[in-house]
Amino acid sequence: MTDSLGLYLHIPFCKSKCPYCDFFSGKGSETDYVAYCAELKNKIYYWSKRTDRPASTVYFGGGTPSILGTERLCDLLQYVKTCFSVEPHAEITLEVNPDSGRHLDFSALKEAGFNRVSVGFQTAAERELKALGRIHSIDDARLTVQRAQDAGIDNLSMDLMMGIPFQTIDSLKSSIDFCASLGVKHISSYLLKIEKGTRFYEQRDSLHVADDDEQADLYLFAVDYLESIGYRQYEISNFAFEGFESCHNSAYWQCREYIGIGPSAHSFFEGKRFFYGRSMQDFIANILHDDGDGGSEEEYLMLALRLKSGLRFSDYRARFQKEVSPLLLRKVNKYVGSGLMERDPQHFGLTARGFLVSNTIISDLLS
What is the pLDDT at residue 1? 39
pLDDT in tens, 304-327: 999 999 999 999 999 999 999 999
pLDDT at 2 over 80: no
What distance separates the 2 farthest-apart alpha carbons in the chain?
59
Q: Is the pLDDT of residue 23 over 80?
A: no
pLDDT tens track for 204-248: 777 778 888 999 999 999 999 999 999 999 999 999 999 999 999
Least confident of 23-37, 129-143, 208-222: 129-143
For the chain, domains (ranges, CATH) are 5-252 (3.20.20.70), 297-367 (1.10.10.920)
3-state class of 119 per DSSP? strand
Determine the 3-state secondary structure of 20 from DSSP.
coil
- What are the tens digits of pLDDT across the range 234-290? 999 999 999 999 999 999 999 999 999 999 999 999 999 999 999 999 999 999 999
**Is 195 a residue whose pLDDT tops 90?**
no
pTM of the model: 0.94
- For residue 21, is pLDDT > 70? no
pLDDT value for 102: 83
Radius of gyration of the chain (CA): 21
Q: How far apart are CA 138 and CA 233, in angstroms?
A: 25
- Contacting residues for 59 by C-beta, under 8 A, at least 6 apart: 6, 7, 8, 9, 92, 93, 95, 248
Which residue type sits at 25? S
